[in-house]
């Protein structure tokens, strides 16, 4: 079993490319993961698609074939050439893949280092894949360890102290534009997902009034009631009227196409600042010079400032990620050692019992002594296997453990895929309190 991650993020693609790669439709996600799992050697897959990244997290026995299918799947989905996809991708395998997943879960690979939203996004990506049968024990192990790692990073460093998300960075940018104070201003917020909710919360906390728009009025009203003050809800069809009346607009929907077009914009005597936090983007190209549009990538100045403040904390956090990566593979090797020892002992026991029964049948030993002879032979095999068993347990922590394990499986003709049963059960899927 091997691990593979194919990653497209703010580090290797701009928003124009990311919006082509983004999976905002559940059926499209299902089809992509089905295509990956149809390849020989592919075992499990998770698809993580956010405004800043599109990643396939894969368990496979043949990473080369699976990698080719990932590029073909993305080519069919995005229309981008396979050559461009291969050139842009960051590809991680085995230890590198697990290290990357742990870093993502700990928000070290985010556009805004230390932001908290990625944890929920990774959680939902895993839940979706798990509940639809696209991943199970192999990736569940990684995700389980990833959130243990993220918890330690969060609890032992200040990387998430006064956490900054893309949403809060947008509000901070708006505050700077408006002279450092949003009190008395009104901000339009479009969408009722997690990003929009965070934007609305930060706006209200900054003294700004909020008008919320969403196709589902019921969902919008739930968010308004949760926030509680200085927030109103208007019907989605009224959006065109309101965007021409107010300076600030924040939009973060899951719409597959733009929802604010050039035709909707009317001339105004004031400068408007619109923050498009969606991928694909919600706002079309606007000709009116009084409208300034800020996409996710335009928040880089706040991101750079955030990174500078947290660089030392990030160094400490990466040390934790490195340690958890090592611990994960040691633990994984120990999981393989125990079933291997059990299988070897079972072979020895079955051989002993078979020979005793054959001896009784041939008349070599009297039937009344069969039980005692069985115990004698079984104890002899246990004593014989004691030293090899001890050495196998000791080797579990060594770098060459995989080679030893595979050699032992070959010598004793044990199945290449040792069945673990319910020895390991991912707690993550059972809990909603992991943030």
Catalytic residues: 51
Which token pair is 255?
């719409």
Which token pair is 274?
């619109």
DSSP SS3 for 273: strand
* Residue 409 and residue 392 in contact, taking contact as beta carbons nearer than 8 Å: no
Q: List, in order, residues 6 or more apart from 386 with CB less than 8 Å away.
A: none
Tokens 């918890």: give the residue.
151
Which H or E run includes 313?
Answer: helix 300-362
Phi-psi region of 123 (alpha: psi -120 to 50; beta: other; left: phi over 0): alpha
- Give the helix, strand, coil percentages of the chain, each rounded to 5: 55, 15, 30
Biggest distance spanned by C-alpha atoms of the chain: 109
Rounded-to-integer distance, Cα 213 and Cα 233, Å? 6
Taking Cα atoms as reference points, which of 347, 334, 355 lies closest to residue 411?
347
Rounded-to-integer distance, Cα 149 and Cα 156, Å? 11
Taking Cα atoms as reference points, which of 91, 96, 109 lies closest to residue 50?
109
* Residue 278 and residue 253 in contact, taking contact as beta carbons nearer than 8 Å: yes
């Amino acid at each position: 079993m091997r691990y593979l991650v194919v990653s497209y993020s703010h580090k290797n693609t701009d928003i124009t490319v990311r919006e082509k790669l983004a999976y905002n439709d559940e059926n499209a996600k299902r089809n992509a993961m089905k295509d990956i799992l149809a390849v020989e050697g592919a075992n499990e897959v998770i698809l993580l698609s956010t405004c800043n990244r599109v990643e396939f997290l894969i368990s496979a026995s043949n990473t080369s074939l699976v990698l080719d299918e990932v590029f073909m799947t993305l080519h069919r989905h995005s229309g981008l050439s396979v050559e461009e996809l291969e050139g842009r991708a960051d590809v991680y395998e085995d230890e590198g893949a697990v290290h990357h997943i742990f870093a993502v879960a700990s928000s070290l690979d985010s556009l805004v280092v230390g932001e908290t939203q990625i944890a929920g996004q990774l959680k939902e990506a895993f839940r979706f894949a798990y509940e639809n049968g696209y991943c199970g024990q192999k990736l569940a192990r990684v995700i389980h360890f990833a959130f243990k790692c993220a918890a330690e990073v969060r609890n032992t460093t200040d990387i998430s102290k006064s956490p900054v998300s893309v949403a809060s960075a947008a509000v901070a940018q708006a505050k700077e534009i408006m002279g450092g104070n949003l009190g008395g201003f009104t901000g339009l917020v479009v969408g009722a997902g997690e990003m929009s909710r965070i934007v609305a919360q930060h706006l209200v906390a900054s003294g700004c009034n909020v008008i919320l728009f969403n196709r589902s009025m019921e969902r919008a009203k739930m968010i308004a009631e949760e926030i509680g003050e200085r927030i109103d809800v208007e019907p989605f069809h009224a959006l065109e009227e309101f965007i021409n009346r107010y300076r600030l607009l924040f939009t973060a929907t899951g719409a597959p196409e733009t929802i604010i077009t050039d035709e909707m914009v009317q001339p105004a005597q004031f400068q408007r600042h619109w923050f498009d936090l969606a991928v694909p983007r919600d706002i079309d190209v606007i000709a009116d010079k009084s409208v300034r549009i800020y996409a996710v990538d335009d928040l880089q100045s706040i991101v750079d400032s955030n990174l500078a403040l947290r660089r030392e904390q990030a160094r400490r956090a990466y040390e934790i990620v490195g340690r958890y990566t090592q611990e994960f593979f040691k633990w994984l090797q120990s999981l393989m050692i125990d079933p291997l020892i059990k299988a070897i002992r079972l072979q020895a026991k079955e051989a002993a019992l078979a020979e005793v029964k054959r001896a009784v049948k041939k008349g070599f030993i009297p039937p009344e002594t069969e039980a005692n002879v069985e115990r004698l032979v079984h104890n002899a095999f246990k004593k014989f296997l004691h030293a090899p068993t001890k050495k196998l347990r000791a080797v579990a922590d060594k770098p060459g453990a995989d080679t030893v394990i595979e050699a032992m499986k070959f010598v004793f003709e044990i199945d290449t895929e040792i069945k673990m049963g319910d020895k390991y059960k991912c707690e993550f899927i059972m809990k909603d309190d992991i943030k």
